[in-house]
Amino acid sequence: MPRNSPSDARRGRRAAQEGARPSVQDVAKLAGVAVGTVSNVLNNPDRVTEFTRRKVEAAIAELGFVRNFAARTLVAGTTNTVGLVLVDIGNSLFVDIARGAEAATAASGLKLLLANSDVDQAKQDAYLELFDQAQTAGLLLAPLDGPLDAARAIARRGRPIVVVNAPAADPDMCCVAVDEQLGGYLAAHHLIAQGARRLAFVGGPLHLHAIRDRLDGARQAATEASLDLTVIETHALNVRDGRTAGGNLLRQSRRVDGIVCASDPLAVGVINAAAERGVGVPDDLVVVGYDNNHLASESLIPISTIAQPGLRMGEVATQLLLEETQNDPDHRHQTVVLEPHLIARRSSQRRRPTTNRLRTP
């Protein structure tokens, strides 16, 4: 016994043609079933007869039905989507973080949406709010070096949020950080091991936590070796500032022979300045960059650098987020600190390394 008249089916078809997007109602009418059945076909196919399923699927195909995500979300109260707000989509570290997060979310059947705050606090907060309003399962934030109030507010409202690459721990949220000080230390220590004795640090602005930490680490390594460390604060982390700083350093009478740069572009600039002055890299001057950007490995003189574990940062952050999402009762907010590592390339590899500070049995 047919449960609905042919006119019902006709109406469903018409709705689609008239531009209004078909709903489960339309599909149900066309297929001659109840809306609940359509929903079951979509969400619990095994609760439905093969025959019914076919009918419904045919109707879906005929109408070009697409689920309304908003309605789903409204009922469910949440989504299977994670939002990631990035401070700078042009920086390969953040791209790596995004990749890591993508991999980890995809492995859990979640979608990852990105937003680029473009080093703008207002935009950052706006996108955080958007994701919060959109009922995302959780949020990831690779923030700029500023207040995290908006993120903290979201965390306190109960939406899971994990901060990646942030300077400090926080009682309200999980964080994933990198030991920047260790990075600076590794860089300087490496140069000293290569025989450098007159060290300099190039980077800035120093009000940025990360940069200051890197400087502190470098300074510690220098102090341990009883060496001085000249500091040149730059305005930005780009090639031009590196060239300027390098030029200034190499012009001085007591020339430096080892430079720790707070970024790879700075290192490129320093090396360019050295080339202009006929200072040989690595023979007369050893240089280390930071971040392992593409240009470090692809430069004519491959640049030694401190590599940040971007992919792992994204993965770990997502892991922490998922833990929190699953409402693990004994989840405690924590800060995971990952370690950077040195990638030694040509820019710091003396052909005739001094034996100084090399341990021999």
Which residues in this chain contact DNA in the complex, by CB under 7 A? 3, 20-21, 23-25, 32-40, 42-43, 47-49, 51-52, 65, 67-68, 71-72, 74-77
CB of 247 to DNA, least distance (A): 57
Distance, CA of 282 to CA of 271 (rounded, Å): 9
Phi and psi based region of residue 109 (left: phi greater than 0; alpha: psi -120 to 50; beta: remaining): left
113 part of the interface to a second copy, by CB under 8 A: yes
Interacting positions 129-168 with a second copy (CB under 8 A): 129-130, 132-135, 153, 156-158
The contact mask relative to a second copy for 75-94 (x = CB under 8 A, - = no) is ------x-------xx-x--
Distance, CA of 257 to CA of 276 (rounded, Å): 16
CB of 113 to a second copy, least distance (A): 5
- DSSP 8-state class, residue 303: P
**Sequence-ordered list of residues with C-beta below 8 angstroms from that of 217, at least 6 positions apart, any chain:** 180, 181, 182, 183, 184, 185, 186, 187, 188
DSSP-derived 3-state class of residue 126: helix
Out of a second copy, DNA, none, what residue 358 binds, judged by CB under 5 to 8 A for its kind, is none
Out of DNA, a second copy, none, what residue 51 binds, judged by CB under 5 to 8 A for its kind, is DNA
Contact present, 77 and 133 (Cβ < 8 Å): no
From the list 10, 14, 54, 294, which residue makes contact with a second copy (rule: CB under 8 A)?
294
Contact present, 83 and 115 (Cβ < 8 Å): yes
CB of 41 to DNA, least distance (A): 8
Return the number of the residue (35 or 343) whose C-beta is nearest DNA: 35
Q: For the chain, where are the E strands, in sequence order?
A: 81-86, 111-116, 138-142, 161-164, 174-178, 199-203, 229-233, 258-261, 286-290, 304-307, 335-338, 341-343
Interacting positions 235-274 with a second copy (CB under 8 A): 239, 265, 268, 271-272
CB of 338 to DNA, least distance (A): 37
CB of 68 to DNA, least distance (A): 4
What does the DSSP assignment read for 33-60?
A: S-HHHHHHHHH-GGGS-HHHHHHHHHHH
CB of 1 to DNA, least distance (A): 8
Phi and psi based region of residue 320 (left: phi greater than 0; alpha: psi -120 to 50; beta: remaining): alpha
Interacting positions 59-78 with a second copy (CB under 8 A): 64, 66-74
Token duo for residue 254: 């007591």
127 part of the interface to a second copy, by CB under 8 A: yes
Return the number of the residue (159 or 212) whose C-beta is nearest a second copy: 159
Out of a second copy, DNA, none, what residue 255 binds, judged by CB under 5 to 8 A for its kind, is none
Return the number of the residue (68 or 356) whose C-beta is nearest DNA: 68
194 part of the interface to a second copy, by CB under 8 A: no
**Sequence-ordered list of residues with C-beta below 8 angstroms from that of 332, at least 6 positions apart, any chain:** none
The count of C-alpha atoms lying within 13 angstroms of the C-alpha of 301, restricted to the half-sphere facing its C-beta, is: 25
Alpha-carbon distances of 69 from 112, 315, 348, rounded to whole Å? 15, 26, 54
Residue numbers of the site for a second copy (CB under 8 A)?
Answer: 19, 21, 64, 66-74, 81, 89-90, 92, 95, 98-99, 102, 106, 111-116, 118, 123, 126-127, 129-130, 132-135, 153, 156-158, 239, 265, 268, 271-272, 275, 294-295, 297-301
